[in-house]
Structure 1
Amino acid sequence: MKRRLVLAAGAAGAAAVSTPAWVGAQSAWPSRGPVRLIAQFPPGGLVDTVARLMAPHLSQAIGQTVVVENKPGAGGLIGTDQVAKAPADGYTLLVSHASVHIYAPATRNTMPFDAVSDFTHMAMLVEAPMVLLVRSQSPYQSLGQYVATAKTKQVRYGTSGIGSANHLFGELLKLDGQAPEHDHVPYQGSAPAMQDLLSGQIDGLFDPITTNVAQLKAGSLRALAVSTPARLPALPNIPTFAEQGFPSMTGSQWLGLSGPKNLPAPIVQRLTALMPEILAKPDVMARLEDLQTLPRKAPVLGEDFNKLIRSQIDTWTKVAKRAKVEVIV
């Protein structure tokens, strides 16, 4: 367990604060913290980054100590399951992740929890677009060339593992592009897959754009397509999958704020209202823009977030069945 104290809301200065946020927090959280914010992936990744970026603002707003705890393992299932089984008192929260709440239910034959009913999903925080990468020396200059080759000749693409969002995107391209030679090569994470891409062992890599922005701007990688509905303003030369004939390949890896089911209403209301405010803070927005991982312009909150999760589980379950992707555990 990796613990890190992000911000202590205490001592005389904090006690003297008399704002609506503080008054609301006192009535919602019956005792002093800490509030545990679970990041179900290792330190240094996107979940950890977003958790530590938001935690000081959250702590200040609710008047509670916020502690970020990394609980990695089993593709995020271990930390998420701990939150599902935690007391519903507002002292255990989760930076929820689409890979656990969408793609795992779509591909795994068993789950340790129900991705919707075992949680209180309060807000989508940010979305990380998927991108198809090739090395800069690759002969593929466009998605059309890449798919045309995979119709008759083996094109090997890497992902962070079987049943991942990356894998389902790759299989969807294979299906919709009628490219039977688009062959999946799974890795234990994106880092070893990137090494093999750069060395020419594989032809393409499906990965969230967040960890690849610097290499794309430097020119060591070429992106053939991005999964956003429109081109990214910061990377306008990357065309979308949709504009190249693959409208079904529009989606993302999102992060959200969730907790155990049956959280008290005052806590749910307070946290749901806070999330758009925190995401709009200049330091938070600047860091998210650096990562090309941004909140939606119209926040997805409360029941709308729950509906989106249910809809996406249904969509990607159908893709998994079409592609015959199933993770047996």
Structure 2
Amino acid sequence: MMQRRTLLLAASGLLAAPAVHAQAAWPARGSIRLIAQFPPGGLVDTVSRLMAPFMSSALGQTVLVENRAGAGGVIGTDFVAKAPADGYTLLVSHASVHVFAAATLPAMPFDPVADFTHIAHLVEAPNVLLVRAASPIQTLAQYIETARRQPVRYGSSGIGSAPHMLGAMLAGESNAANLDHVPYRGSAPALQDLMANQIESFIDPITTNVAMMRDGTLRALAVSSPQRLPAFPNLPTFAELGYGRLTSAQWLGLSAPKGLPAPITERLAALVPDILKQPALMERFSDLQTLPRNPPPVGAEFVKVIEEDRAAWTAVARRFNIVAS
């Protein structure tokens, strides 16, 4: 009798109801962790903390930013790759890991595409070449000419990072043989050494440097955006100065472990474009010169961005023999 009742319930779909209800009720179980795989104060942390309250409001549940830094973002990213695919652990994914580390590390503990549910592209930030305000170098041309005659050091957030790759491309394409890379464990210590005159220059996403550019503490020589930034109309692009290949931006996205249930994935993918249209959030992103694409790529389109960028930067890494460790 019990077996017959079970079969009848299964046929009617009633046995599946608890699982369906659990997905439909998401995120009623509790707060959501938004993993930032870099330390506080940098690009990922800044964007994560801007996004979290808007996500909380839209989902009706607390979204908590949790920093899990280390190994150039690989540790926090790997944590998410191995987390349950239940919608309660999300990642602010970053090109630094899914593109640049994938292009330069001999091996990674996860597949940058297959081991994730890539939900949506969030924002992207161009990189800037910076010197101290007191530096005698006023232009990119002077910078290159100096690096042809004598050593000029540029700091970056690490070996194989986007700033490192841009610096290598600049050195190669300008024949600036004395342009030397100095890797750091993140942007903050590199900026500290720049201000202490331990290095002559610094390449970094514009996001966390906007305030010092505006108050005159830092001088930007060029930006990697395709066109000049409206907020900095006097700042030339690398492209207009003759370095068209140095046109790139570091994107951030929203991702989750692979196998995220379709109803959760679809809800988040529909949510992101609406959140990115919020005037208060757009104003902050505009202040930081870190903006979404219009429209933001979601789902398969976001995956396409990752795969195309990885292919392009893998070619650059091979050209300049850049291998991270």
The TM-score, its normalising length taken from structure 2, stands at 0.88
Q: Is the 8 A contact 1:25 1:270 kept in 2?
A: no
Match 1:29 to one of 26, 30, 39 = 26
Cross-structure match for 1:294: 291
Deviation of 1:207 (Å):
1.0
Q: Is the 8 A contact 1:125 1:255 kept in 2?
A: yes
SS of 2:254's partner is strand
Structure 1, residues 55-102: CA drift from partner, whole Å, max 9, x if none? Answer: 222223223332322212222111111111112221211111111111
Cross-structure match for 2:162: 165
Equivalenced residues, count: 305
Equivalent residues in 2 for 1:109-188, closer than 5 Å: 109-188=106-185
SS of 1:242's partner is coil
Cross-structure match for 1:309: 306
Structure 1, residues 266-299: CA drift from partner, whole Å, max 9, x if none? Answer: 1111111111111111221122122221111231
2:72 is equivalent to residue 72 of structure 1: no
Relative to structure 1, the CA distance from residue 291 to residue 63 in structure 2 (aligned partners, 3 Å threshold; closer, same or farther) is same
Deviation of 1:196 (Å):
2.8
Tell me the C-alpha RMSD between the 2 structures: 1.9
Match 2:268 to one of 262, 268, 271 = 271
Q: Which stretch shifts more, 114-123 or 150-159?
A: 150-159
Deviation of 1:46 (Å):
2.7
Q: Is the 8 A contact 1:28 1:267 kept in 2?
A: no
Cross-structure match for 1:10: none
Deviation of 1:174 (Å):
0.9
Distance 1:199 1:58 in 2: 39
Structure 1, residues 206-256: CA drift from partner, whole Å, max 9, x if none? Answer: 111112111111112111100111111111111111111111111122111
Structure 1, residues 119-152: CA drift from partner, whole Å, max 9, x if none? Answer: 1111111112100011222222221221233234
Structure 1, residues 1-29: CA drift from partner, whole Å, max 9, x if none? Answer: xxxxxxxxxxxxxxxxxxxxxxx997262
Q: Is the 8 A contact 2:43 2:205 kept in 1?
A: no
Relative to structure 1, the CA distance from residue 90 to residue 191 in structure 2 (aligned partners, 3 Å threshold; closer, same or farther) is closer
Amino acid corresponding to residue 276 of structure 1 in structure 2: P
Cross-structure match for 1:41: 38
Amino acid corresponding to residue 214 of structure 2 in structure 1: K
Equivalent residues in 2 for 1:224-303, closer than 5 Å: 224-303=221-300
Distance 1:273 1:315 in 2: 29
Relative to structure 1, the CA distance from residue 205 to residue 264 in structure 2 (aligned partners, 3 Å threshold; closer, same or farther) is same
2:56 is equivalent to residue 83 of structure 1: no
Deviation of 1:189 (Å):
2.6
Unaligned runs of 5+ in 1: 1-23
Distance 2:219 2:45 in 1: 27
Deviation of 1:203 (Å):
2.0
Q: Is the 8 A contact 1:99 1:253 kept in 2?
A: yes
Amino acid corresponding to residue 42 of structure 2 in structure 1: G
Distance 1:195 1:35 in 2: 34
Cross-structure match for 2:217: 220
Cross-structure match for 1:62: 59
Amino acid corresponding to residue 129 of structure 1 in structure 2: P
Distance 2:22 2:210 in 1: 38
Cross-structure match for 1:320: 317
2:58 is equivalent to residue 95 of structure 1: no
Q: Is the 8 A contact 1:37 1:68 kept in 2?
A: yes
Q: Is the 8 A contact 2:72 2:158 kept in 1?
A: no
For the pair shown, the structure with the greater C-alpha radius of gyration is: 2
Deviation of 1:31 (Å):
4.6
Distance 1:135 1:98 in 2: 27
Distance 2:92 2:303 in 1: 15
